[in-house]
Amino acid sequence: MTGNRTFTMIKPDAVENGHIGAIMEKITAAGFKIVAMKYTQLSVRDAQAFYAVHSERPFFGELVTFMTRGPIVAAILEKSNAVEDFRALIGATNPEEAAEGTIRKLYATSIGENAVHGSDSDENAAIEGAFHFAGREVY
């Protein structure tokens, strides 16, 4: 049984490069319904907590610096098979390995600055959505 919600962020690189509109268009054109969305900026503490699972990785400091350097768009998206379908839409973590037409192939610049986040499991989608949104902000 697969879930019907996933969590995404349009990351600071894609926001800086003016891609919010194009990325949201691809997301909605692929059949995802926006059930929560906000334009916000992560504090260092927020980013360290959100990415705690990566805290021992060599790129952790770089990741926190990147994710806090400017605003992001955070959203919860609804569609059947949401986690898997969204990861197909965004493409591989490394844009050099991402399939043609995917969001990362189009808009990401490197493995670190890869334009968008997509949850990797139903469990993490629920955790990540709750990290960013109160229940009354989800429609």
The residues annotated as belonging to the active site are 117
Taking CB under 6 A as the criterion, the residue among 4, 17, 68, 93 binding ligand CMP is: 93
Longest Cα–Cα distance in the chain:
39
Q: Which of residues 57-76 bind ligand CMP (CB under 6 A)?
A: 59, 62-63
Instruction: Report the nearest approach of ligand CMP to the CB of residue 62 (Å).
Output: 6
Q: Which stretch binds ligand CMP (CB under 6 A): 18-26, 34-42, 107-115, 125-133?
A: 107-115
Total residues in contact with ligand CMP, by rule CB under 6 A: 9
For 104-114, letters b (16+ CB in 10 Å) and e give bbbbbeeebbb
Contact (Cβ atoms closer than 8 angstroms) between residue 128 and residue 50: yes
Question: What are phi and psi for residue 121, nearest 5 degrees?
Answer: -160, 160
CB of 136 vs ligand CMP, minimal distance in Å: 26
Report which secondary-structure segment, H or E, holds 103: helix 103-107
Q: How far is CA 114 from CA 4, 24, 133, in A?
A: 24, 15, 23
Q: Quote the least distance from Cβ 80 to ligand CMP, whole Å.
A: 22
User: Contacting ligand CMP (CB under 6 A), which of 34, 92, 111, 138?
Assistant: 111
Chain positions contacting ligand CMP, by CB under 6 A: 54, 59, 62-63, 93, 111-112, 114, 117
